[in-house]
Copies of this chain bind each other. A is one copy, B any other.
Amino acid sequence: MHAPIYFEDMSVGDTFESFSKTITESEIIEFAWKYDPQPFHISKPAAEESMFGGLISSGFLTIAVTFRLFYQANGFQATCVGAHGIDSVRWMQPVRPGDTIRATMEVLALKESRSRPEIGNVRTLTSTINQNDEVVMTMETPWLVKRRPAP
């Protein structure tokens, strides 16, 4: 376990790094078959004929893997209590079988909660990056993060 990162441990401009994961062909096809069965996610021949020229990850899979990378890599397991949602997700480059993605998360804003003194609001910009250092996705997240308990 990493040391917990509380609201008080963050400053605007801080950047956190995830580790990385290789996205496999079977993962792309199986996820999409359940949740996003567009031809360019589930069928190699159809994907080759599409504007992407081959299989690409569902954008929802890219979001989910990015979240998992962060949740596991840093000290947020003990302090993250959820999020109101996600803002401004942009899929900028395809994620293809064999690509390895990691993410960086920059703190954009910090605000104490008026209604819940044990919680802080943290807005972050997450960039998901492939093995060629290309940004494949960006998104902003309004998190709820625990405040450091009084000693």
Contact with B along A74-109 (1 / 0, CB 8 A): 000000111111111111000000000000000000
Collect the chain B residues with CB atoms within 8 Å of residue A59's CB: 83, 85-86
Give how many copies assemble into the complex: 2
Size class of the contact patch on chain A:
20 to 34
Q: B51, B80, B84, B139: which contacts A90 (Cβ < 8 A)?
A: B84
Interface status of A47 (Cβ within 8 A of chain B): no
Interface status of A19 (Cβ within 8 A of chain B): no
Q: From A56, which residue of chain B is reached at the shortest CB distance? A: B82
Interface status of A17 (Cβ within 8 A of chain B): no
Interface status of A114 (Cβ within 8 A of chain B): no
Contact B88 A85 (CB under 8 A): yes
